[in-house]
Amino acid sequence: MINFFCKLIFFISILASSTISGKEDISQINKLYQNQILDYETYIDTLNSFNIDTKSKDFKNLLDLFIKKSISFETFNKGIINIHNKSKNTDKKYLTKKFSLDECKGNSQICNEYKKVRNSESFLEEEIKIPISELSCKTVKNHLSDLVDNSNYENDFSTRFVGDYIKFDGNNGFIYEAKFQIYLTQHGMNVLLSLFINGNLGDETKNCNNFKFNKALFMFRGNVLAEIKIKEV
C-alpha cells in the first residue's frame, strides 16, 4: 500500500510540475523504470502525460527490445526521446472550411450594401478550422456560436449593424440572423433589414464534418429583397 501511494504521489508530481517537459526529464523517468522504482503501469501513464504515444508500433517495438535486453539503455532512452520529439513536431490535422457570400440577385441597393459586408469580419467570411481529433457535432456547434460572438460588421453613413444571433433546431439545422439599419431609397426611410443564413450541421455519424450553409436572404417585413448564393471556397 505504501509503495502504491509513493508511485501515485510521483505520478501526480510529474503532471503538476511545470518544469518537466524536456529530454532530461524523460531520461530520468526511463532511468527510474530501468531501476524498477517505477512499475510498468506507472511508467506508461507517466510517458502518456508527455504526449508520447505508448500504443504506437515504434514504442512497443522499442520497449520490447529493451525488455529482452537486445538494446542498451542508452539506445532505448534515445529512442524514447526521438518518439517524443516526433510527436511534438507533428502538426495537428484540421478540418478547414471557408465559405463565401457569392452572387447577389435582387434589390440593387441591397446588393451594393452587401459588398461592404463581404469586406467585414462577418460571421460567414471567417475560416472555420477545427482539429480532427476534436471534431464532433458539438464542437462544430460551439465553433459557429463563437463566430457569432466575435463577428464585427463595418458601419458607415448608410448602414449600421444592430446585432446577430444563431439558433439551432432539433434536426441539426440552424439559422443565423444579422440585423442592419439601412436607408432604403425606395421607402424613403431607415428600415431594419435582416440577413438570414440557414444551414445544416451535417451527419452525426461523420462528426458533422459535412456541415454546410445553404443560402442567404435579405428580408424586410417578411419579404425577400435579395438572395445571395453561398459557395465553399
- The answer for residues whose C-beta is within 8 angstroms of residue 192's C-beta and 6 or more apart is 162, 179, 180, 181, 220
Residue 163 sits in the same domain as residue 60: no
- Kindly report the CA angle at 163 between 158 and 169, in degrees rounded to 5? 135
Residue 208 sits in the same domain as residue 109: yes
Residue 190 sits in the same domain as residue 215: yes
pLDDT of res. 54: 86
Residue 197 sits in the same domain as residue 140: yes
pLDDT of res. 85: 83
pLDDT above 70: residue 118 = no
Residue 80 sits in the same domain as residue 117: no
How large is the average pLDDT for residues 126-140? 83
Q: pLDDT tens digits, residue range 32-88?
A: 999 999 999 889 988 888 888 888 888 989 999 999 999 999 999 999 998 888 776
Residue 191 sits in the same domain as residue 125: yes
Residue 227 sits in the same domain as residue 119: yes
Q: What is the residue-averaged pLDDT of the chain?
A: 80
Of 89, 111, 146, which residue is a domain's last?
A: 89
Of 45, 66, 89, which residue is a domain's last?
A: 89
CB 124 within 8 A of CB 79: no
Residue 102 sits in the same domain as residue 17: no
Grid coordinates in use for 76?
A: 532505448
Predicted TM-score (pTM) of the model is 0.55
Residue 102 sits in the same domain as residue 153: yes
How large is the average pLDDT for residues 203-214? 88
Closest by Cα among 199, 202, 31, 222 to 101: 199
pLDDT band at 24 (very low <50, low <70, confident <90, very high): confident
CB 80 within 8 A of CB 104: no
Residue 185 sits in the same domain as residue 198: yes
Domain extent at residue 208: 94-232
Give the count of domains, the chain: 2
Lowest-pLDDT choice from 35-44, 91-100, 207-216, 222-231: 91-100
Lowest-pLDDT choice from 80-84, 118-122, 190-194, 228-232: 118-122
Of 89, 114, 132, which residue is a domain's last?
A: 89
Residue 102 sits in the same domain as residue 199: yes
pLDDT band at 22 (very low <50, low <70, confident <90, very high): low
Residue 84 sits in the same domain as residue 60: yes
